[in-house]
């Protein structure tokens, strides 16, 4: 159910942004529909992320991690290892510096 809610929320954000960029409200009498679509899309997306993710921190549940660089990857020198300060999630990312 939440997977469908994520899809619907993402599509409503996309449709709202496309309507804003195309300036359709000037041609048709849509008034504030693009803004409403974007707002409800973000609300539904945050609700579905809070319900499905199981991290302790609410910010980590909606995807706002605070990563700290730990070390370099031993296999690929351009890759760095990062760990979230709140939930401990680890990731690898390439760096140009």
Is it the case that residue 30 has pLDDT exceeding 90? Answer: no
Closest alpha carbon to 87 in 71, 70, 67, 73: 67
The secondary structure of 64-78 as a DSSP string is ---EEEEEE-SS-TT
Q: What is the mean pLDDT of residues 1-12?
A: 88
Q: What is the pLDDT, as a whole number, of residue 68? A: 92
Look at residue 26 and tell me whether its pLDDT is greater than 70.
Answer: yes
pLDDT band at 97, cuts 50/70/90? Answer: low
Where do the H-state alpha helices sit in 22-86? Answer: 24-27, 33-52, 58-61
Spatial distance between the Cα atoms of 40 and 8, rounded to a whole number of angstroms: 10
For residue 89 the two structure tokens come to 């999630």
């Amino acid at each position: 159910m939440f997977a469908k809610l994520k899809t619907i929320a993402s599509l409503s954000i996309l449709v709202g942004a496309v309507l804003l960029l195309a300036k359709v409200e000037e041609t048709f009498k849509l008034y504030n529909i693009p803004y409403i679509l974007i707002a409800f899309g973000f609300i539904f997306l945050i609700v579905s992320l809070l319900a499905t993710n199981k991290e302790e921190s609410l910010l980590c549940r909606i995807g706002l991690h605070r990563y700290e660089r730990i070390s370099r990857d031993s296999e690929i020198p351009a890759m760095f290892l990062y760990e979230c300060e709140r939930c401990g999630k680890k990731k690898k990312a390439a760096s140009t510096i």
